[in-house]
Every structure is written in structure tokens, then in C-alpha cells.
Structure 1
């Protein structure tokens, strides 16, 4: 991508896979290419609300960052669900499968997907670790990882497997519900690098908010910020004006605000769009986390 000012707006979305219609864990923040502090979009969001914004109400030429895994590991075992007769061939087919299995579940939920008897053995939930949680039945304590998550780890982050459904840091259900949303966005909004980066218009990328925090001078262990004072220190490190608030704030809001400013700072760097580990096959099957180099 040419390093010109191709995007005019930068929308960061902190996502949630929790049960229920409206989620306190979803936060949206937007930064304008013209400058100024990032702005929190105040609302008690549902996943369907976010889908509607992305499908019908985006400002023109917006780079959208979604804090979730846009696919499951594929390269490590040669497939998403090795041994399953109908394992999908690429990420859009995976999204379609998730949405089809969970079609009757409201709120873009994915609990019925991970509970399906053919699919449950690939996941670790609160009661058991599936026999296929690792490749070929091997025991892997942290589960399977995509190539991009290995790149995150090399940068100092501690990623979690999208096949893990246990604990406060689990990302599995969050990612699976997000993949249902991505299925419903097909034909409306491209998702890089599964889709080529278009020359104009809006596009979705996967983000990992810890990467933004690292570039703002915070460690991975201290990536979460729970005050506007801490947030504004990090924003200053990115060259962004501060948010004119003080006091406590939840880390979903600060994740979104900081990452919106980070996207604005780095989106026009060509290196971000051509990481070393991103091959055409990885792009179509696993996708990539924007900023993982």
C-alpha cells in the first residue's frame, strides 16, 4: 500500500463473546485522520448493533480494527478441524460453517457451535479438554496457535488460543461470535488479508490491543489502563492529543481509545501491510493481526 493518507477514519472495536444481548465488554472509539483525540462512541452495545454500524453506517474510508481472532489455526495441523469430514478450506467457509451451526442462537452467539458433538473435541471448555485440542491428539497446554499469534509472542505478547474457552483471558467465544458477524458482512466490507486491500473504501483488520499498548511504551503485563491519566500518558507516546477526562475508566474503553489512535499513527506504514510471515495461503486460511511483524 502506498503510504499516503488513504484512510480518513480509524475505528477500534473492543469485542466480547459473553452471553446476553448487550455487552459491557464492547467498546467503540474513533479517531479522525485530521487530528484531535480519539472519541469513545458512548452506547451499551450489542453485537448486532456493531454489525449494523459496520454494514450500514460507517464513515467513508474507515479502517476498522476488530479485537478478535478472524480465523482459527490452520497451518499447524493442515486444517481447522483435522479428521472432520467437512472441515472448511478457507476463512470465509469457516465463518459460514460457524453461522450455519449456530443459526438459531440469538445475539450472534456461538455456544451451540462449540457444543456440537463433532466440534467439541477441538476445544477446551470449563469441564474438559477435547481430544483434538492439540494436533493429532497431542497434549498442548495452551492449545493451537495461528502463525500471526506466534509473531505476537515473538514481539513480547502472550496470545491465547482461539480453541480455548476457559478463563478470563479466553478468546475463543469472542472470536467465534466475531466470525459470525464477519460472515454477515460478506459483500459489504472486505476483511484484510483474507480479502485484498482495496485501493479505496473501508476495510476491516484484526487488532490485538496489547500491540498498541506496547508501541505506546507499556509492557504486555501492564497493557490494561483503568484511568484517563494512564490512557493520556499512552496517547502522548503515540503523538495523540489527550482525552479531556480524568479519573477511573474501564479497560474496554481505554483499549478502544488507545488502539484507534494507534491505527491512525501506523496505518499508512507499508511495512504493516506486508509482514514477513504472511503468505497467500496463510492470508486465505488464518488471516493476520494488523501490526504483528
Structure 2
């Protein structure tokens, strides 16, 4: 349809301004997107005129209202064209951004209601007929398209507001005069005019608010207004290039105008380019301060939390396919649940004001109200209607009496009063209201969440792409598979299948990188070929002669060997390899599991987009005895007995893998010295709270 698409973020600022809350213009075409920050309205209009004069088919999207509610136009005796002409004739602006739009608003107020509906005098001096705060008004606050936007979970501002955050009225009064001049210069204005070589349309960049927030996390130095215009210009250009833009223009003409993309929000959001990846982790993100030797567990966790951030791009998917995925943006209700007031029971509905004390006898109207079969018409005052569970309350009904509490005589329903007003009814939006955040970003979607999204009309959600985590085992003593033959000095690989299973249970995409012998070149080739976001290795993470993983990461990557004050699992190698974070876990399976649960689980959760996963435990009496020295935190394999006491495995030996299977959780003992006897309160963390099921 178009050769170029320009998106204009307008401003009613009273002085030349750049940066936040100023004028931004983005232009997208086949060569990409470019944006510019324009200090004044006069310069912005000149820039648009220049674009129009370049001969291309051009769509100009402006972010301010192009009309007023129909009732206001009727009272003014104008259509939209007349409004633009009137404003162009009476509005003045200068090259210093000095505008008389407040005087224009005061004059329109006199023509409409007197001291309203325009409001928001932001100057020190009083302006007759322009109130400082919002007045009561008989005129609608919203145009029809804005009502639709609100029902779809968007939050358009009122065209009557001239001051404060979201002062759309000021932008409209300064912008519509320009629209008149652009039209005189050959542009058409949709949907008031047909589409032409140069078409101007009203847009609402906040359709992409979630995408803008995600974009700003990757580009924190970018001004939000700039991000909005660039992303919307790119999205509409992608739809234009892909042939999916025309349906956005298929609306009934209206003197109130329309917002381009309304009712097509999901398509517009899906067209936002996703090729820009989140920023990579810094190469020194795992570095510990100089002089740090033994690191307490809490200090190590705090360091990880500060160093990491989500590393996966965002994608749009259908809600019914989002099980197990992590929300990247708040899911906002597109409609209320329930959408209309309805009956909570089978019974009879009526107006409560028509009832009094004692026995009541109300004539029954013909017909009934059922779920999916609303009653046609209004129930007269003093009459009742048969209504079934889930049915929308007909006009004239606000209360329902339970069927079991009623008697019938063929033409009337009889019941005892008083009945509470609105008894046995559900309010519209009683569960969730349209526009309300239903599920916060970072939430891992489950079956109940899918039900909620569906009920609220949220057909598509933004989620992080799944985190791909590679698992590599190393060591000459390791035999890769349990179906292979093993010599007495060899052991079967327990870590790799354990970690792959663990990752799968956490909802990530586990990638088996196999087993490498203690061959630095082989390990290096394997790391280089790994197409993953994070790598977990086991073995070779300490400082011994055959600890090739840590040596390789130190010489060709960026390694920080963390000596954690932890039992089991003191050595923890953290490194960046070609931009990929590597967690070097101990080779002992017990230590490998504990380090994975304590360190890898919250770190991966944060990188995947679901936030820091804090383990949840609770206090129970001990069913064991132990004297612990100060200096290290300890995790004991434990399970609850039938009395709710925590038992621990018979041996603390880190080679006793059977204890991992025997246990159903861990007992966490503090860094300080402790003496545990039977009945001593201890912290017990169930496996389930660590993502182990």
C-alpha cells in the first residue's frame, strides 16, 4: 500500500524541547527505520510537508485524537472537517512553541457547556471558562473508538484533558490545525477521506507498551517516545510489506474518527521485529572482588542475582499453546469476566425495588433467560422472569431468588421477603475487569492460567523463547551410558542424565552435549559447537592436574572460581565462553545436585525471564542429632517421617548417591555453629519447592 510509513509522537510543550515528552518522528521503509527528535511543532510540520513532497506513497500516523465525541460535534454544529478548519483559523503557534490552545479550549467550552468539558489550566493565571480540575460534564468523555480501546484493555486518555500526564486534549488542539493544512496540501485523512498517495491516520503507540518495555530493557539509554515510534513504524511497515496492512483500514466511516490498528492489536504486536536480542551478559559478570577467598552462600547468590538478567528474545504465541512458557509482558484482560451481570443460580429474577416485606407474588413474563440465550426485552417493574444459572440479567432485573425458595401458581412466582438486593447475582467484572492485569510478566503459565487467559479473550501472549541449556560431562573415569561395559576403575555417568532430567522438569530445553574425556581440545571443540544459551558442566571444575574444564575456561574464556562456604560442593566454576555463561558444577553427583539446586536453579530462572527463584522451606522438628562447626552452610539429604519430623540420610558421604533418591528434600543448616538434637527446629526444603518432582 505504501512506500514509507512515518509515525509522529506529538507534543504540546510550550517551549522548544527534545528528549522525553517531546516530538519524535520515525520513518520506516525497505531500508530500515530512522528516527529524529524535533524541537518544535512548526519544524515537525515542515518535516512532514517535506516527506509529502518526495513523491512516495506515504502513511503518516499521528498519536493525537483527530476528532471529538459526536455529541460535542453536534452541539458545535461542525463535522470533523469543520472542526479542523475552525482550529486552523483560530490557533496560533510560533517557532518558539508558544501556542494559544488554552484560549481555544476556553472558547470551545463557552460554545459547549460553559466551564467544561475541556479542563486543565496549567498556567498561574486564571482563564475564564477553563477549569483547572475536571468538571462534571453531560458530554461523553470518550469517542466510540476509545470505548472499544478501553474494552480491549487499552487506556486512552480523554480528549478534554489539557494538563498533567496524558494531556491528549492539548496535543489534539495543537495538532488538528496541522491536519487541516496537510489536507489542504494534498493529503487525505483516514477514515474521513479515502486512502490516497499520502494518507494521515490516528495511531495509538501504547498498543505496543509491552514491546516498548522489553525494548527498553535491551536499550536502556533510549527515550521511551523514540522506542514507541520506531517499533510502531517497523510493525506497520512489516504488515505493509507482508500484505496484512489493508484489513486495518476496513472500518465504517465516522465523524469521530478511528484508531488505526484497533481490534487488530495482536496482529500489530506480532509484527514487531524480534531480531534484536537482549544484551549479552558482561564478560566480567562473574568476577569476584579482589581478595575474596571463601564466599558465603548468601553473598554468592546475591552476586549472581545482581550479575544476571533475561537473555532470551520475546515472541508472540497463541495462549492455548503457552503451557509452561514464561510471560514476557503483563496479560491484560480484553474483556471482563463475567462480561455482563448474570445469575448465580436457577430461579426467578426481578427488580428488588419492586419488593417489600412478607410474602411476595410477582407475575411472570413470557420467556426465560438462559446462558447463551438472553431474554429479549425488558422485565416490567413488579414482574419476574424465569432465569437460569449463567444467564445475563435482563433489563429490569437486579435480584434473583433461588428456585427452591419459590412457589408457582401458573402465572406468578411466590416467595418470602425480604430478599437482599442483588441476591444470587454476579457483577460484571466480578472476577476480572476489562483492562485489568490478569497475570504478571515472569509468571510460568499453567493450565489454570490458560483457562483465565481464554476466559478474558486474551488469544495471544508475549513469552520468552525457551532457555536452551546444554549439559556436558567430563572425565576419563566416566562411561557415557549405563548400557556400556565399565572397567573397575570406571563409573557410569550419573550427572548428565540427572541434570538433563532436572532441566526438563524446570521447563527449559535441555541439550545433551555428551561426554568428553580429559582432552582440552575435545572439550574446547564441544563448547564451541554448543548451540545453547547456558552450559552446565560437571567435573574438572577444581584446580587439580586433570581439571581441564577450569583450566580451559581460565585460559580461553573468562573464569571466576568461586570457593563457596558450602557443604557439599565447595568448588563452583563460573565463566563466559564466547558470550555464553558456563556453570562448572562439581563432579560428585551429590555436590552437583546441591549446587544445581542452590545456584543454577535461581540463576537459570532469572535468565529465562521468570525472575529469581527463591527456595521455599518451612521449619520442622529434627529427628536426628548433629554438631556443626561455624563457617559453612550445610545441606543434608532429608525426608519427613510420618510424624512430620525431618530425618537425614544415614551418611553424609558425598559419594552416596542413594541418599539423593532416598530423600524428598534437603535440610539447610545455617553458616553459624549449631547443635541439633531431637526436636530442634530446622529448615526443611522439599524437593518439590526446588522444582524436583
Query: What is the CA distance between 1:291 and its match in structure 2?
Result: 0.4
Structure-2 change in CA distance of 1:179 and 1:97 (3 Å): same
Kept in 1: contact 2:163–2:170 (CA 8 A) = no
In structure 2, what is the Cα distance between the partners aligned to 1:9 and 1:72?
Answer: 29
2:189 alignment partner, SS class: coil
Cα shift at 1:47: 0.9
Q: Report 1:223-242 matches (<5 A).
A: 224=213, 227=216, 229=218
SS in 2 for 1:80: helix
Distance 1:171 1:225 in 2: 25
Displacement after TM superposition at 1:62 (Å) = 1.4
Matches within 5 A, 1:98-137: 98-103=87-92, 105-106=93-94, 107=97, 109=99, 110-116=101-107, 118-119=110-111, 120-126=115-121, 127-130=132-135, 133-135=137-139
Q: Is the 8 A contact 2:25 2:38 kept in 1?
A: no
CA-to-aligned-CA distance 1:84-118 (integer Å, 9 cap, x gap): xxx14211100112222324x43483222113361
Match of residue 369 from structure 2: none
1:148: Cα distance to partner?
1.1
Which residue in 1 is equivalent to 2:86?
97
In structure 2, the residue matched to 1:262 is: 235
**Residue 13 in 1 paired to residue 8 in 2?**
yes
Q: What's the Cα RMSD here? A: 2.4
Instruction: Report what 2:51 is aligned to.
Output: 57
Higher strand share: 2
- Do residues 156 (structure 1) and 126 (structure 2) align? no
* Alignment match of 1:72 (pick from 50, 56, 68): 68
Corresponding residue number in structure 2 for 1:289: 259
Which residues of 2 match residues 167-206 of structure 1 at below 5 A?
167-188=164-185, 189-198=187-196, 201-206=197-202
Contact 2:87 2:177 in 1 (8 A): yes
Alignment pair present for 1:273 and 2:249: yes
The reply to whether residue 165 of structure 1 matches residue 162 of structure 2 is yes
Count residues with an aligned counterpart.
238
Distance 1:64 1:7 in 2: 10
What does residue 242 of structure 1 align with? Answer: none
SS at match of 1:39: strand
The equivalent of 2:221 in structure 1 is: 248
Higher relative helix content = 1
- Higher gyration radius (CA): 2
User: Which ranges of structure 2 fall in alignment gaps of 5 or more residues?
Assistant: 122-131, 264-693
Describe the superposition over 1:107-161 as per-residue Cα deviations: whole angstroms up to 9, x where unpaired.
4832221133615522122523345x332xxxxxxx6111111121122101111
Change (3 A) 1:156 1:149: same
CA contact (8 A) 2:23 2:39 kept: yes
Change in CA separation of 1:124 and 1:81 when aligned onto 2, cut-off 3 Å = farther
TM-score (norm. length: structure 2): 0.32
Which fold has the larger relative contact order, with Cα–Cα distance below 8 Å and residues 6 or more apart in sequence?
1
Q: Secondary structure at the match of 2:38?
A: coil
| Cα distance in structure 2, aligned partners of 1:227 and 1:257 | 12
